[in-house]
Chains A and B, each alone.
Chain A
């Protein structure tokens, strides 16, 4: 097999939006795709800095998202504040272990995993690592697919709050945790979009000269 050739090394730009290849300077700022008109970049602009910024913001917000209550419930039996984890524990002890697993997976594990993978990818790209690029590319794809499922708890809070309106029986109000959690999900999706997977492969090119 001959040495791999990238579009960038040939002075070609692949459009991020429609895939069309066109000729252009790698660092020009006003190039547009001749087919769909999207701005052209050889690599996503400031990919590493933007991903860091979004990732750090998501990490900070992950703390209130888990510590602050998602929902306040007040009923005849008293009132309580539910965080994500207390919701998981509630389902686990009340016998709905499959629900506990779904919520634990979507709300706790997926965001953690996503932030850990992005952190790892950022550090490895900045160290110009040559380690297992295929596996790292796979990790990136995994993050893009599973990230959206963290939105689950936001929807659950939304549905429950709007259904339980009978003040006589119980009142359920959304808590500040829901806001923080929603922000974490949105920030991590933006972070994954800002990251350019081509950066994983660039150090391998330079080695070859």
Chain B
């Protein structure tokens, strides 16, 4: 019986019986209040759709300049990777690595892993090394910080306004939209549903 499966709370280890949820409902642990699972309408399709959209935005956000500074007719623009390279050459290698990992590498791995897990399943079969990629996705999760990076861009833009006129680039808007998509992804991603679907293909 699928409706009466036992689950352990991931935060306090309490055993609880799984109850069926209404559409959009969320189940919380009866003891510590942690979120146990949620029922999202069309979670699977939405996760895949948001992921595909996020990949395009992520590509644009990395390929185009984020902001430009206009000074005496000269415009200096910077892309995300330029920023990392400048920091690296200014002898701030650890900060450069930190920015590269949290703003570029981790979001990229996250989007890659989601596509790798969801797309073949959508076509009815599980990708090889499914479990390995799933573990990678979970490990990457706390280190992808697109939303913090966006706030960082905005603060630095306001800081530089006193010095020169700042021109927002295409990538700034893409990062804004990417942040919203990442938040939407976090809301609809359902690891339990993913595993149920994966096991159904066996």
Contacts and interface: CB of A to CB of B under 8 A. Distances in A.
Given A6-B14, A36-B135, A155-B156, A182 B76 contact: no
B83 A162 contact: yes
A155 B13 contact: no
A117 interface: no
Nearest to B132: A37
B153 A173 contact: no
Contacts, number: 186
B159 A156 contact: yes
30 contacts: A7-B8, A14-B7, A14-B8, A16-B10, A18-B134, A19-B191, A21-B7, A21-B8, A133-B12, A134-B32, A134-B33, A144-B142, A148-B145, A149-B151, A151-B145, A155-B148, A155-B153, A157-B95, A158-B152, A159-B67, A159-B152, A162-B78, A162-B82, A163-B76, A174-B87, A179-B92, A197-B11, A198-B11, A198-B13, A201-B14
B152 A37 contact: no
A128 to B, nearest CB: 15
B181 interface: no
B71 interface: yes
- A-B pairs, top 6 by smallest CB distance, nearest first, are A155-B152, A14-B8, A7-B8, A159-B156, A162-B86, A137-B32
Contact of B103 (A155, A163, A186): A155
A91 B82 CA distance: 27
Contacts of A148: 142, 145, 148
Interface size bracket, A side: 35 or more
Contacts of B12: 6, 133, 137, 197-198, 200-201
Interface string B59-91: 000000011010100101010001110110010
A138 interface: yes
B155 interface: yes
Interface string B36-50: 000000000000000
Interface size bracket, B side: 35 or more
A36 B71 contact: no
A183 interface: yes
Contacts of B56: none
A5 B155 contact: no
Nearest to A202: B13
Interface in B90-105: 90, 92, 94-96, 98-99, 102-103
A172 to B, nearest CB: 9
Contact of A99 (B15, B99, B158): B158
Given A14-B10, A35-B131, A159-B156, A152 B99 contact: no
Interface of A: 4-8, 10, 12, 14, 16-21, 35-38, 42, 94, 96, 99, 102-103, 106, 133-134, 137-138, 140-141, 144, 148-149, 151-166, 169-170, 173-174, 178-179, 182-183, 186, 189, 193, 197-198, 200-201
Contact of A152 (B83, B86, B151): B151
A72 B33 CA distance: 46
A155 to B, nearest CB: 3
Nearest to B86: A162
B162 to A, nearest CB: 8
A170 B163 contact: yes
Nearest to B94: A179
Contact of B33 (A10, A99, A138): A138
Contacts of B151: 102, 106, 149, 152, 155
Contact of A161 (B86, B94, B134, B145): B86
Given A18-B191, A19-B192, A170-B163, 17 more contacts: A5-B15, A6-B8, A12-B8, A35-B195, A36-B195, A37-B131, A37-B135, A141-B34, A148-B142, A151-B145, A151-B152, A154-B99, A159-B67, A159-B78, A182-B95, A197-B11, A201-B32
